[in-house]
């Protein structure tokens, strides 16, 4: 079989300060850069990325025809220029492929300047090219805002089941397994789906914790000969359009089988509404609690890890707000480290003055988030780096992170990882590359919501979640929504929009 493959990954926070230009996809933001044609074969081997898992599972019995693949760090809308260039490359490749099947590695929560449902628009164009009978299989992020248009134009949508997303490659492999079943004669299954009536805070969606772990075990248990695939996407609750919502779905050998499965899943998620609750502290309270825990008992202890969730670059933040740094300094924290503060000018200045020197600089705060501003202090330059980092943790498995010119800046007992390009701090190597050993710290503050847990839970005494300035509200009810579907609750048991 001839199978066209490609991908387009962007999670759009419509409340974020910066848009995703084509240059952001060239840079990648922690992901591989824009890849065309055979570059996909060269760059996506043995990585925790869906297309990598797809290629490994499909094997060499079929001809894979690579089109294009691109990803950028979450941000505000994808510009029309970027969308048309990347979607155009994928569609041109599919048009030339004369493919029997199509696989696409998508996110599911992309909003562009002109298309609120970016993946729905891309799939509409692909379906128009290949016609009604060609199977299109798609892997989706757990945070997909999965829409009716996406269901209409794809034969199979399969979503991640872990957050932190340690099963990205596995999800691509499940999409490949489905296409192999179709090759072996399985008929196209029947879809049943339900949209849920409330938004789920992103910090609550962690599948290491209840109720996420319980629900995803149930999702997997639903699959059988009659139910080839079942999925639940809690959604990305910062995309202001009508399709922003959690969704459950199942594909069945019959309409009855699909409906029975999705009704069970819907009931399970609705029953958990009151359980989607994450304890979120103010910045100062989080630091004080971390200091209290760190000083208990005697002897060496593990670091207390704090999630700076609202400026998470993995959810649209620019990773430059200084609220948590101010809290650390206000509380006179010692053996504390935080990152990434993305400030290319500060990193460049640190390289110019050199290690051991003092740098007077107004650090961070460039994204002009309300309640935040640059912090000017005499920073000591403890280390510098070119920013090329080999990830060692399970989330970024196999990836080479390109953070640009970087430095470790220190003031009093606080050290800061400063980089030029934003990437979610979800790997211990993102401290070590500027000379900070994370295991030796009393407090670590990561600009991340949940993904950091994959690599930091094993070394953490405990994990706290802090609410400091940033565009990714810990409570979705705090966002100034305008375009949601009428009636959806803005958080579990919250007010209706």
pLDDT digits (tens, 9 = 90+) for 304-318: 999 999 999 999 999
Average confidence (pLDDT) over 212-223: 98
* 417 pLDDT more than 80: yes
- For residues 269 and 286, state if they share a domain: no
What percentage of residues in the chain have a pLDDT greater than 70? 99
Q: How far apart are CA 202 and CA 199, in angstroms?
A: 9
Instruction: Provide the residue range defining the domain that includes 38.
Output: 2-275
Same domain? 132 vs 268 = yes
Q: What is the mean pLDDT of the chain?
A: 96
* Beta strands 406-411; 375-385: pairing state: antiparallel
Query: Does residue 266 share a domain with residue 162?
Result: yes
User: Is the domain of 258 the same as that of 335?
Assistant: no
Residues 199-213 have a mean pLDDT of 96
376, pLDDT greater than 90: yes
Q: Quickly count: other Cβ atoms within 10 Å of residue 63's Cβ.
A: 12
In a domain, 257, yes or no: yes
CA distance 374 to 355: 22
Query: Measured between alpha carbons, how far is 241 from 216 in angstroms, rounded to an integer?
Result: 26
Burial status of residue 487 (CB atoms within 10 A of its CB: 0-12, 13-18, 19 or more): exposed
pTM summary value? 0.93
Please state the φ and ψ torsions of residue 221, each to the nearest 5 degrees: -70, -20
Q: How confident is the model at residue 398 (pLDDT cuts 50, 70, 90)?
A: confident
Q: What mean pLDDT comes out for the span 235-255?
A: 98
User: Does residue 297 carry a pLDDT above 60?
Assistant: no
Domain co-membership, 195 together with 142 = yes
CA–CA distance, 64 with 175 (Å, rounded to integer): 14
Q: What is the number of structural domains in the chain?
A: 2
Q: Which residue has the higher pLDDT, 278 or 467?
A: 467
Q: Do residues 162 and 298 share a domain? A: no
pLDDT value of residue 355: 98
Which residue from 18, 7, 6 is spatially nearest to 471, judged by alpha carbons?
Answer: 18
Q: What is the reported pLDDT for 12?
A: 98
Tokens of 458: 């094993």
Q: Among residues 221, 246, 275, which one ends one of the domains?
A: 275
Last residue of a domain, one of 224, 246, 275: 275
Is 478 inside a domain boundary?
A: no
CA dist list (Å): 290 to 268, 413, 443, 444: 35, 14, 7, 9
- Domain check: are 241 and 309 in the same one? no
Q: What is residue 228's predicted lDDT score, i.e. its pLDDT?
A: 97
Q: What is the sign, positive or negative, of the torsion defined by CA atoms of 468, 370, 71, 116?
A: positive
Q: Is residue 332 part of a domain?
A: yes
Per-residue pLDDT, 278: 78
Burial readout 405-431 (b: 16 or more C-beta within 10 A, e: otherwise): bbbbbbbebbbbbbbbbbbbbbbbebb
- The yes-or-no verdict on residue 472 having pLDDT over 90 is yes
113 and 48 housed in the same domain? yes
Considering the domain boundaries, does residue 482 fall inside one? no
pLDDT at 300 over 60: no
The answer to whether the beta carbons of residues 462 and 310 sit under 8 Å apart is: no
Confidence of residue 447 (pLDDT cuts 50, 70, 90): very high
Is residue 299 scored above 80 in pLDDT? Answer: no
Per-residue confidence (pLDDT) for residue 30, from 0 to 100:
85
Residue 435: inside a domain:
yes
User: What's the mean pLDDT in 135-151?
Assistant: 98
| Same-domain pairing of 90 and 213 | yes
Q: Please, which pLDDT band fits residue 194 given cuts at 50, 70 and 90?
A: very high
Whether residue 106 is contained in a domain is answered as yes
Same domain, 234 and 362: no
CA distance 316 to 337: 22
Pull the structure tokens for residue 489. 């609750």
Same domain, 217 and 363: no
491, part of any domain? no
Position 307 in a domain: yes
Rounded to whole angstroms, the Cα distance separating 26 from 368 reads 25
Confidence of residue 279 (pLDDT cuts 50, 70, 90): confident
Same domain? 179 vs 321: no
Compute the Cα dihedral for 48, 53, 56, 57 and give only its sign.
positive
């Amino acid at each position: 079989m001839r199978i066209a493959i490609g991908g387009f990954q962007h999670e759009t926070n419509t409340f974020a300060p910066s848009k995703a230009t084509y240059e952001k996809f060239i840079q990648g933001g922690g992901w591989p850069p824009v890849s065309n044609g055979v570059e996909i074969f060269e760059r996506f081997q043995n990585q925790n990325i869906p297309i990598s898992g797809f290629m490994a599972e499909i094997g060499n019995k079929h001809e894979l025809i690579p089109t294009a693949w691109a990803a950028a760090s979450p941000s505000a809308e994808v510009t029309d220029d970027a969308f048309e260039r990347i979607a155009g490359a994928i569609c041109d490749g599919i048009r030339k492929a004369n493919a029997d099947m199509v696989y696409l590695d998508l996110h599911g929560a992309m909003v562009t300047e002109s298309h609120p449902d970016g993946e729905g628009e891309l799939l509409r164009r692909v379906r128009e090219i290949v016609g009604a009978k060609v199977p299109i299989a798609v892997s989706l992020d757990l945070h997909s805002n999965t829409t009716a248009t996406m269901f209409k134009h794809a034969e199979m949508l399969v979503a991640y089941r872990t957050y932190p997303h340690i099963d990205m490659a596995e999800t691509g492999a499940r999409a490949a397994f489905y296409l192999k079943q179709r090759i072996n004669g399985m008929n196209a299954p029947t879809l049943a789906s339900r949209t849920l009536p409330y938004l789920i805070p992103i910090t609550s969606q962690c599948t290491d914790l209840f109720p996420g772990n319980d629900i995803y075990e149930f999702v997997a248990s639903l699959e059988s000969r009659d139910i080839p695939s079942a999925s639940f996407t809690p959604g990305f609750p910062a995309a202001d359009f009508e399709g922003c919502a959690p969704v459950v779905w199942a594909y069945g050998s019959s309409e009855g089988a699909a409906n029975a499965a999705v009704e069970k899943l819907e009931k399970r998620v609705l029953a958990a509404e009151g359980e989607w609750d994450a304890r979120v502290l103010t910045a100062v309270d989080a630091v004080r609690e971390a200091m209290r825990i760190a000083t208990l008992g005697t002897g060496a202890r593990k670091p207390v890890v704090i999630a700076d969730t609202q400026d998470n670059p993995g959810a649209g933040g620019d990773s430059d707000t200084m609220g948590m740094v101010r809290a650390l300094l206000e509380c006179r924290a010692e053996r504390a480290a935080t990152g990434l503060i993305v400030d290319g000018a500060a990193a460049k200045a640190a390289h110019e003055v050199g290690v051991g020197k003092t740098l007077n600089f107004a650090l961070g705060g460039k994204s002009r988030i309300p309640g935040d501003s640059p912090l000017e202090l005499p920073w000591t330059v403890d280390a510098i780096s070119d920013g090329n980092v080999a990830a060692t943790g399970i989330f970024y498995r196999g990836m080479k992170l390109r953070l640009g010119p970087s430095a470790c800046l220190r003031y009093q007992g606080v050290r800061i990882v400063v980089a030029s390009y934003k990437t979610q701090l979800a790997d211990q190597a993102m401290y070590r590359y500027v000379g900070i050993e994370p295991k030796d710290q009393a407090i670590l503050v990561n600009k991340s919501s949940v993904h950091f847990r994959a690599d930091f839970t094993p070394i953490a005494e405990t994990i706290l979640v802090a609410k400091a300035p940033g565009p990714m509200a810990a409570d979705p009810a705090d966002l100034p929504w305008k375009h949601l579907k009428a009636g959806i609750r803005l958080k579990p048991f919250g007010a209706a929009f």
